[in-house]
Amino acid sequence: MAEESKIHHLAWFIAGLGVGAVVGILYAPKSGRETREDIATGAKQGTEFVKAKAQYAAEQASVLVDKGREHVSTIVDKSKEQVGQYVDRSREVVDRGRAQWEEFVERGKNLVAEQTTKVGAAVDAGRDAYRTTTATTTTNEPL
């Protein structure tokens, strides 16, 4: 928006130069030769002025482009750093989750082993009780 405003002002300035030149020619108290020399001098000065302003605008544009590149580079670097931090945090969370999972699996295995031992002991106790009961009844039965 500011660049458009500068171009707009420059256009009005150049238009003003043209109007001033025409008015100067119409009301000039000088001879034609002197007037032509003045016009040529003014045109040279105007051309030099426009060249200088164009050069200045090109330099400013170059500076802005460089600053833009630096800004984008900074944003990219910060983004990379942030993504790296998120990746590191994610790895930590995954590692913690894996450790908890392994702990739960180990607890489950231990619980199953305990229950297997208890069930095995109960089955053995039941078998022994059955044998004891059947052995006693067999020996007590008349032949």
Angle at 80 between CA 76 and CA 86, to 5 degrees: 140
| Sign of the torsion formed by the C-alpha atoms of 102, 104, 106 and 112 | negative
d(CA 72, CA 80): 12
Distances in Å between the alpha carbon of 23 and those of 20, 36, 39?
5, 14, 12
If one compares 6 and 111, the residue with the highest pLDDT of the two is 111
Cα within 13 Å of Cα(68), Cβ side: 6
Question: What confidence tens digit (pLDDT) does each residue in 56-109 have?
Answer: 888 888 888 888 888 888 898 899 899 899 899 999 999 898 999 999 989 999
For the chain, the maximum distance between any two Cα atoms, rounded to a whole number of angstroms, is 164
pLDDT at 117: 93
Please state the domain extents for the chain.
35-137
Question: What confidence tens digit (pLDDT) does each residue in 34-49 have?
Answer: 777 877 888 898 889 8
